């Protein structure tokens, strides 16, 4: 059967935009990513050999341009994060050596300083997208749609289930109480530092999901997709990297299990807007617990 969408005529319809116009050179066409042979057996606007769950993501991928620069964006973002984290650790080790326990430094500013490197995770992909792509909204689907909100909330809530189960198992079988998380061991905030704590918690719930998703499921996923790596392999690889960048070996199983569900939101919709929402939902409960426990 003849493909009914060959002549798109520049339509903004994502279904019509899936197939480039007649006469467009192959090298100018957007990447079809890892979704098999594109538009094979098309009937009534659907690929009969493609699971309907991924039809939306295929259309989004088809509308994108060249994302091969995603690897460079990933290494810039992660490299900057790692180097700045190391530099801050060295500087703070020198500053805090021999401090008076009776007069410790204020915790609030130090907490925010610890998250400065995290900003570079998203800054690298964003800058490369502006310089070599069409901007984070077009390249990664940064702005959530109503569809992203629905899928993201469901996947974020689903991610809590395996995370809690694994955390419970690790706690039961660990002599030191299991995984502690990135803010374990923090002293109770002193009076007057509630604002610092609120900012810190807000970054956990909103800031970190944006920067981490831009890096892993934006730049890295987009680059792997461009070179036609199979979608489930992309899900596994990006989830492994998501767990790795947290640099918390005791929480790796938990982060990997949750990351699979966060990545599923990206795989279904083709946009990181959905995985950002899922990530924010997943981080929200621990952030609220931290606020009331440390406040």
pLDDT of residue 180: 53
pLDDT of residue 198: 79
pLDDT of residue 175: 65
pLDDT of residue 88: 81
pLDDT of residue 7: 42
pLDDT of residue 171: 79
Give me the residues of the chain with pLDDT under 50, please.
Answer: 1-50, 99-104, 182-191
Tokens representing 157 are 């809530």
How many degrees, rounded to 5, is the angle at CA 221 between CA 81 and CA 53? 140
Angstrom distance (rounded) from CA 148 to CA 261: 14
Output the pTM of the full model.
0.75
Name the DSSP letter for residue 15.
Answer: T
Burial class (CB in 10 A: 0-12, 13-18, 19+), 236: middle
pLDDT of residue 177: 54
């Amino acid at each position: 059967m003849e493909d009914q969408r060959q002549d798109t005529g520049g339509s903004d319809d994502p279904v019509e935009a899936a197939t480039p116009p007649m006469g467009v050179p192959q090298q100018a066409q957007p990447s079809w990513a890892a979704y098999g042979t594109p538009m094979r057996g098309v009937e009534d606007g659907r690929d009969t050999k493609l699971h309907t769950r991924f039809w939306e993501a295929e259309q989004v991928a088809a509308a994108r341009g060249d994302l091969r620069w995603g690897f460079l964006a990933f290494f810039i973002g992660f490299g900057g994060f790692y180097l700045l984290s190391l530099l801050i650790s060295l500087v703070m080790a020198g500053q805090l050596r021999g401090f008076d326990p009776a007069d410790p430094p204020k915790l609030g500013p130090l907490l925010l300083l610890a998250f400065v490197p995290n900003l570079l995770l998203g800054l690298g992909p964003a800058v490369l997208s502006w310089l070599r792509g069409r901007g984070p909204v077009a390249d990664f689907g940064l702005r959530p749609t109503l569809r992203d909100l629905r899928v993201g909330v469901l996947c974020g809530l689903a991610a809590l289930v395996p995370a809690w189960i694994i955390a419970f198992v690790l706690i039961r079988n660990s002599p030191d109480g299991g995984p502690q998380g990135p803010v374990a061991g923090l002293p109770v905030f002193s009076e007057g530092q509630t604002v610092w704590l609120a900012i810190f918690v807000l970054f956990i719930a909103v800031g970190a999901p944006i920067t981490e998703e831009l890096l892993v499921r934006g730049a890295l996923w987009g680059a792997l997709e461009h070179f036609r790596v199979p979608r489930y392999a992309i899900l596994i690889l990006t989830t492994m990297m998501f767990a790795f960048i947290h640099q918390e070996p005791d929480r790796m199983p938990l982060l990997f299990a949750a990351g699979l569900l966060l990545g599923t939101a990206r795989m279904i919709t083709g946009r990181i807007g959905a995985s950002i929402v899922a990530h924010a939902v997943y981080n929200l409960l621990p952030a609220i617990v931290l606020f009331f426990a440390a406040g």
